[in-house]
Structure formats: structure tokens, C-alpha cells
A = this chain, B = another copy of it.
Amino acid sequence: MAKKKRKKTGLAPGSLVFTGNQYLDNPLIQAFRYDEQLLEEKEAAGNLFAPRIPEKKYWYDVRGIHDKDLIEQIGTAFGMHPLVMEDILDPEQRPKIEEYEDGIFLILQALTFNQDTCTLETEQVSIYIGTNFIWSFQEKPTDLFSAVRERMRKEDSRIRKRSSDYLAYALMDSVVDHYFLVLDEIELAIANLEAAILEDPNSQVKADVHSLKLQGVWMRKTITPLREAVGQFSRSDHPLIQSETQIYLRDLYDHVIQIMDLNETYRDVISGLYELYQSELGMKMNNIMKTLTIISTIFIPLGFLAGVYGMNFDVMPELRNPNGYMIWWAVVTTLVIGMLFIFRRQKWL
């Protein structure tokens, strides 16, 4: 994850370099101009930087962040600090919030669970809140905000009625909601693994527990700063945040805390899985050793007894006894029964 940083070491801070992977050819830009009555949509166009109408609110959404010239143009036109532009271009940022005089800048990491590789994938989402406008930047082509768009298109949508900070909240909320889906996947995986361990604790199961454990570690790494950022946002007294939005932000904060709790709980549960796996393995080893010991303890002495009467000494009276062979078998049978009795008393059988 930190690997891409290398490209930048040695550059002046604030230098604009894209340090991530490029997921699509050209950035997709979608612009909304809206007020309570009217919503106008248009796909990326040249007039992005045309003067804005003060009574209207604007939402610009960019998918694909590899075009550093575009980011620079946007940033300059909308008065963003150079460090903001640098952060948008670096998809390895921790979730954070930064307040500037005339804007608030938010970085989030959206999580999705890749079913094929059983790993978490992150997508950086940056949101810049200005006076009556919002810029959102998504790293990948999939649209995280389609549900928000749907809601905006409805006549009586609360998003259109309220100011930009509420839209920012709605965007954050839809990112946070994805975490619950990921936790669902993890919960499912835990249940499956627990069953698998109790049935057959093989090598695959161990690798899966290990991998699941790692997901919890990575997830915590993302959630902890998210909690701080959302908490700071909900307590902020920046003029761009209205007090009626704060109650929603506090609710969002509660959700993040809940996600964090669940993740910590799942981490404990996964630790428990690991221990369960270890005991299951120990138990299996125990059973293997018991089998070995029972067989050896019975048959090695018997083998000795057979060996004795396979010796070729000239004088061995037992061999001459016509009932010797019968007596020998009687002794052997008695021994076996005695041993089985002892084993049972030891609870080995």
C-alpha cells in the first residue's frame, strides 16, 4: 500500500503527482445544478468553470483521479489549497477531515469485499465542500453514489431542500453503509469457518482463518481514522455546517462506532477461531497418538512373545509341550484383554 509513496520521496510537499493505479481511461465527470424546485444534470463538459449562479447549489462528481492536470484546474478554479489537490491525487491517504477558511475537505475509504479473492478492496473518496458547491472524487469507475443520485431526482428530496453540507453527509452515509455489507460478509465467513474447523481442520481452513484475521486488521486500520474524522466533522463549528445537519452527523458517527465495535468483536471471534483450530488440531494429534500407542502397546509385547518361541535354543521345554501352542495363545489373549481393560479405564477407548 505504501509502495507508491516511493515515486514521491524527495519532491516538495504540495507537488502534484498521481501515485495510484489508473482504473479508467478518461475521468467521468457528472455535474448537478439544483435547488428545491429544479435539478439539472449534465455529463462532463467544458463549462464546468463557468460562473455559478449564487442561488443554485452544485454537485460535481468525478470518477477517476489519475488526471493531475484536471485536478489542478479544478482545484485552482474552486480555490482549493495545494495540499488538498495533492491528497486527492494520492489514493493512500488515511480518512481525515481538514477545515479551511472557505471549504472543508474530507477523505474517506470505501470498502468492498471481493468474493473471489476473499480480500477487502479500498477505494478512496474525496469530498470538498465549498459555499453552495460540492466536489466528490471517486477513484474507480463503479458509482458509489447511485443511490444518492436517485434520491436527488425525486421532487421532495431532503437533499435538494437543504444546503450542501447535507449532501456531503448523504455521500458519507452511503460510503459508510457499505461497511455494513462488508461486515456481513465477514460474519458469514466466520460462521462457515467455524463449521469447517469442527468438521475437518485442514490446511485450507488454517489459511482461511489467517486471511480473515488479516481482513480485520486492515479494516481496523481504515475505521479508526474514519471515526476520528466523522467525530471531528460532527463536532465542527465551521460556518459551512448547519446545526440541523449535525444531528444527522451524530447519527452517522453512531454508525461508525457500531461498525468499529462489530469489527473489534469479530476480531475477538476470529481469534477464538484460531484457538479453536489449534485445540482441534491438538485433539486430532491426541487421537492419532492414542491410536499409535494402543496398537504399539498391544502388539510390540506380543511380537516379543512370538519371538521368544521362534528362538532356536536346543533346550526349550515349552516347545516340546504338546499344549504349548494352546497355552501360548491363552496367555496372549489374556494380555490383550487386560490391556484393553486398562485403556478403557484411562478413557483412551
Interface residues of A (CB under 8 A from B): 1-3, 5-6, 8-14, 81, 83, 92-94, 96, 98, 147, 150-151, 157-159, 169-170, 173-174, 177-178, 180-181, 183-184, 187, 198, 200, 203, 206-207, 210, 213-214, 217-218, 220-221, 224-225, 247-248, 250-252, 254, 257-258, 261-262, 265, 268-269, 272, 274-293, 295-297, 299-304, 306-316, 318-325, 328, 346-348
Contacts and interface: CB of A to CB of B under 8 A. Distances in A.
B177 A12 contact: no
A95 to B, nearest CB: 11
Contacts of A170: 12-13
A171 B70 CA distance: 30
B288 A288 contact: no
Nearest to A302: B304
Contacts of A9: 147, 174, 177-178, 180-181
A278 B279 contact: yes
Given A258-B94, A307-B310, A328-B311, A272 B147 contact: no
A293 B288 contact: yes
A270 B126 CA distance: 31
Please give me the 9 A-B residue pairs with the lowest Cβ-Cβ distance, nearest first. Answer: A306-B307, A10-B147, A309-B311, A5-B180, A292-B293, A310-B310, A313-B325, A299-B300, A9-B177
Given A221-B261, A221-B265, 9 more contacts: A9-B174, A10-B147, A206-B280, A206-B283, A281-B283, A292-B296, A295-B300, A299-B301, A313-B328
Name which of A8, A96, A210 has the most chain B CB atoms within 10 A of its CB. Answer: A210
A183 B309 contact: no
Contacts of A248: 13-14, 83
A190 to B, nearest CB: 10
B13 A275 contact: no
Contact of A285 (B180, B275, B285, B320): B285
Contacts of A178: 9
B306 A311 contact: yes
A48 B187 CA distance: 41
Contact of A3 (B147, B184, B206, B274): B184
A324 B313 contact: yes
A151 B12 contact: yes
Contact of A94 (B207, B261, B272, B314): B261
A2 B308 CA distance: 66
